[in-house]
Amino acid sequence: MISSKRQFNIACLQTSPRPDFQAALDEAISLAEKATAAGADIITLPEYCGGLKTAGSAFAPPFETEENHPVLKGLRDFAKNKKKFILIGSIAISGPADKILNRSYIIDDFGNIISRYDKIHLFDIKLSENELYRESATVHGGETAVICQTPLGCFGQTICYDLRFPHLFRDLSQAGAEILFVPAAFTKKTGEAHWHVLNRARAIENGAFVVAPCAVGKVEGGGECYGHSLIINPWGEVLADAGADSGFINVNIDLEEVDSTRKRIPSLSHDKAFEF
């Protein structure tokens, strides 16, 4: 730890989309060990860090019940043994109506699940005649926004395509979120065009840190993830960018920057409602 609970080191693990639980867990633990050695107090992972494949236009990640999910168990054990907080960007959990849940978790430094968030906005997109994604074909969407109070600060949870819906980030920030998590498996095409500017905008609009671990590389069955995991301060400055290879980034942050930025530009208290 740094000098106070408002100051700590946070890491993004930039993993590759793996087709099965064991390969996904092996890479996550290997990078988590390196991030721990580099001083990370909080370790964050991308969307579908428990495994990802596609089948045509549908997402087809390996899935399991929460009680029996080996990646969830492995990362909880790591958090407990290393005394680290972990954001599991998302894993596929058995859901209702023969669908899965794209679910994110925050794990405390005792290995306890302290927060769950099911992705609200599902990625149903036609990028071109040959590149079509229908996440809703296999995923049951969430309905509840989630913030998590921890000894290290207040965290707001989102996943990937949620990034394009600024009202969600506004609501999280007005509810107290100081760090906005954006774990993702952003496509390379959309990432090259929009990833940096959208993440910076969400930080600037809300005077919050944005921590966005993104998967990188080819997906079995089709598609490619963009990488470029980001840590951005409340002024919109990119503190770290993981580039286009597997690995990790980590930086020291001070949540007092959130307070000072919001005092300088108090836009969270200036919203107005309109009728049409």
Residue 3 falls inside a structural domain: no
Active site residue 53: no
CB 48 within 8 A of CB 23: no
Residue 274 falls inside a structural domain: no
Of the candidates 248, 241, 181, 244, the residue with the CA atom closest to the CA atom of residue 211: 181
Active site residue 188: no
| Banded pLDDT at 5 (limits 50, 70, 90) | low
pLDDT digits (tens, 9 = 90+) for 7-53: 999 999 999 999 999 999 999 999 999 999 999 999 999 999 999 99
Domain of residue 94, residue span:
8-265
Is the confidence at residue 2, as pLDDT, over 90?
Answer: no
- Per-residue confidence (pLDDT) for residue 130, from 0 to 100: 78
Residues 119, 135, 148, 178: which is the catalytic one?
119
- Per-residue confidence (pLDDT) for residue 116, from 0 to 100: 98
Residue 270 falls inside a structural domain: no
Active site residue 160: yes
CA separation for the pair 115, 131 (Å, rounded): 34
pLDDT digits (tens, 9 = 90+) for 203-255: 999 999 999 999 999 999 999 999 999 999 999 999 999 999 999 999 999 99
Residue 232 falls inside a structural domain: yes
| Banded pLDDT at 3 (limits 50, 70, 90) | very low
Residue 273 falls inside a structural domain: no
Tell me which DSSP letter residue 231 carries.
E
- Within a 10 A sphere around the Cβ of 244, how many other Cβ atoms? 14
- Per-residue confidence (pLDDT) for residue 1, from 0 to 100: 39
Residue 1 falls inside a structural domain: no
Number of domains in the chain: 1
Of the candidates 185, 57, 74, 186, the residue with the CA atom closest to the CA atom of residue 128: 57
Residues 12, 49, 154, 160: which is the catalytic one?
160
Indicate which CATH number applies to the domain containing 229. 3.60.110.10
Phi-psi label, residue 137: left if phi above 0, alpha if psi -120 to 50, beta otherwise? alpha
Residue 16 falls inside a structural domain: yes
With 0-12 / 13-18 / 19 or more C-beta atoms within 10 angstroms meaning exposed / middle / buried, residue 81 is: exposed
Residues 47, 64, 135, 178: which is the catalytic one?
47
pLDDT digits (tens, 9 = 90+) for 84-117: 999 999 999 999 999 999 999 999 999 999 999 9
pLDDT digits (tens, 9 = 90+) for 116-135: 999 999 999 888 877 788 99
